[in-house]
Amino acid sequence: MSLSVLDIFKVGIGPSSSHTVGPMNAARQFVDTLVTQDLLDATHAVDVGLYGSLALTGLGHATDRAVLLGLAGHRPESIEADEAEAVVRRVNAAHRLVLGGRREIEFDRATHLSLHKRETLPRHTNGMRFSARDADGRELHQADYYSVGGGFIVCGDEQQAGAPRPPAPFEFDTARELLEHCHDQGLEIHELMVEREKTWASPEALRVRLLEMWRVMQACVQRGFSAQGLLPGVLKVRRRAPKLYRQLQTQADGPLQVFDWVDAWALAVNEENAAGGRVVTAPTNGAAGIIPAVLHYYCHFEPGADEDGVIRFLLTAGAIAMLYKKRASLSGAEMGCQGEVGVACSMAAAGLVSALHGSNAQIENAAEIGMEHNLGLTCDPVAGLVQIPCIERNAMGSVKAINAARLALRGDGTHKVSLDQVIRTMRQTGRDMSTIYKETSEGGLAVNVPEC
Ligand code: SF4
């Protein structure tokens, strides 16, 4: 199926796109199937099994809550954090859930949701099995889903979940094909993306949606600056963005203060994400701080920055994300953190070059640098929470993205290692990486840092 930039950038809730947003969408889709197959009224119980990485780190990543919210008919893009909290509290207290907002059934988390930590379903480590039963315990419907990263879900039969859509022109699987289309059409990458997106929406409507994403990112930063206290979970991590923001407003400028600002913007977003707040998945929730931090950098520190530059940034970053989605993966459970923070860094570097009117060759160069120096980055979240190392890692990834863009802009786009070569290397590295470093919390910092 042709990908849209709005598949890459979408509003979701924290803390994880693969472990929160994807499972919520899968649970909701399962209930939608019960409705379309006219099975909802006969359903008396729903059993949910979480497998592999979803079972190992799902509780820290709020997968259990996400499934429950999806079964209740909620969508990640529209539910507010406090509403989600209230729904979860109600279900847990009453052991009853209103399936799809229409049919009340018994739902006891201990009975109806099981974690299969040593088992995986055949196609991906982030597997889910949903089963609906009638009053006599007979199975009415069963379906497997996979959360394959960035909030994307795939059904058990390997069809992309969701409604089919018309194919876009200028399809590309590699950076080389993308650059060839641009060369043949005489277009910059962001312009080619607009031509593709015309298949589904007018350029005006696309612009509105992208600016909406930018506003959600800005609102997330502001909430992150004004929130206080500790993040949820056993680690009792204190939010750092509010204090850093206050310091930056009162302290004199220094030559490196730009780094402090970039850190503050990234920390604000990822602290909000860790708290279950509203973020733009870009391309995942764990790495959601990098695109907003680099966009804020562009708007605050680059002369002549404007909304057109923001649009160029997002369209170009979206094109780069598609390459990783098609040729490797956006899933920390498949690729380690190089598939999340690494990809976001690559996207942001390319987006910034495009915003600053760099050439297509310089954009490809920036994206390549952004990934090359994240190769091998492991995923080892302490206590299964998207906090350590995730939050700080976004600040580091943002600074790296800006530097990658600057390196590329100082050159003419010619370079030794191509983006396609680095994506291939990333995929091989991810496959060779031990599973203990792929969102299982069984290795790395997760076993060397005490949980409390
Ligand atoms: S370490 Fe990276 S990939 Fe793993 S949960 Fe954190 S942000 Fe996601």
The CATH number for 149's domain is 3.30.1330.90
Q: Which of 122, 155, 188 is the last residue of a domain?
A: 155
pLDDT score for 254: 85
Ligand 1 atom having least distance to the Cα of 380: 1
Instruction: Look at residue 331 and tell me if it is in a domain.
Output: yes
- Give the span between the Cα atoms of 290 and 267, in whole angstroms: 9
Instruction: Look at residue 161 and tell me if it is in a domain.
Output: no
Q: Are residues 183 and 309 in the same domain?
A: yes
| Domain that residue 310 falls in | 175-199+201-448
Ligand 1 atom having least distance to the Cα of 284: 8
Q: Are residues 133 and 208 in the same domain?
A: no
For ligand 1, the distance from its centroid to the CA atom of residue 295, given in whole angstroms, is 21
Domain count, the chain: 2
pLDDT score for 228: 92
- Give the span between the Cα atoms of 358 and 408, in whole angstroms: 9
> Which residue owns the Cα nearest ligand 1 atom 6?
390
- Give the span between the Cα atoms of 296 and 305, in whole angstroms: 10
340 lines ligand 1 (CB under 6 A): yes
Phi, psi for 355 (deg, rounded to 5): -60, -35
For ligand 1, the distance from its centroid to the CA atom of residue 428, given in whole angstroms, is 19
Q: Are residues 245 and 105 in the same domain?
A: no
Of 337, 374, 440, best ligand 1 pocket probe by most atoms within 8 Å of the beta carbon: 337
Q: Are residues 112 and 191 in the same domain?
A: no
Residues 6 or more apart in contact with residue 293 via CB below 8 angstroms:
262, 263, 265, 266, 269, 348, 394, 395, 398
What string of DSSP letters covers 355-368?
A: HTT--HHHHHHHHH
Q: One-letter amino acid identity for 349?
A: A
> Which residue owns the Cα nearest ligand 1 atom 5?
386
pLDDT score for 81: 84
CA atoms within 13 Å, Cβ hemisphere of 156: 11
Q: Are residues 219 and 342 in the same domain?
A: yes
Q: Are residues 398 and 292 in the same domain?
A: yes
Instruction: Look at residue 95 and tell me if it is in a domain.
Output: yes
Phi-psi region of 377 (alpha: psi -120 to 50; beta: other; left: phi over 0): beta
Query: Which pair of structure tokens corresponds to residue 35?
Result: 């409705």
Burial of 247 (0-12, 13-18, 19+ CB in 10 A): exposed
Instruction: Look at residue 426 and tell me if it is in a domain.
Output: yes
Q: Are residues 207 and 301 in the same domain?
A: yes
Residues 6 or more apart in contact with residue 204 via CB below 8 angstroms:
none
Contact yes or no for 420/176 (Cβ under 8 A):
yes
End-to-end Cα spacing for the chain: 45
Q: Which of 155, 186, 220 is the last residue of a domain?
A: 155
Q: Are residues 117 and 64 in the same domain?
A: yes
For ligand 1, the distance from its centroid to the CA atom of residue 424, given in whole angstroms, is 20
58 lines ligand 1 (CB under 6 A): no
- Give the span between the Cα atoms of 28 and 31, in whole angstroms: 5
- What single DSSP character describes residue 321? H
Instruction: Look at residue 329 and tell me if it is in a domain.
Output: yes
Ligand 1 atom having least distance to the Cα of 339: 3
Q: Are residues 149 and 217 in the same domain?
A: no
- Give the span between the Cα atoms of 52 and 118, in whole angstroms: 6
For ligand 1, the distance from its centroid to the CA atom of residue 180, given in whole angstroms, is 33
Q: Which of 155, 185, 211 is the last residue of a domain?
A: 155
Q: Are residues 151 and 293 in the same domain?
A: no
pTM: 0.94
Instruction: Look at residue 168 and tell me if it is in a domain.
Output: no
> Which residue owns the Cα nearest ligand 1 atom 8?
286
Low-confidence ranges of the chain (pLDDT < 50): none
Instruction: Look at residue 2 and tell me if it is in a domain.
Output: no
Q: How many residues does the chain have?
A: 452
317 lines ligand 1 (CB under 6 A): no
Q: Are residues 63 and 115 in the same domain?
A: yes
Q: Are residues 317 and 441 in the same domain?
A: yes
341 lines ligand 1 (CB under 6 A): yes
pLDDT score for 395: 98
Instruction: Look at residue 164 and tell me if it is in a domain.
Output: no
Residue 202 to residues 188, 195, 205, 216, 429: CA-CA distances in angstroms? Answer: 18, 10, 5, 21, 39
For ligand 1, the distance from its centroid to the CA atom of residue 337, given in whole angstroms, is 5
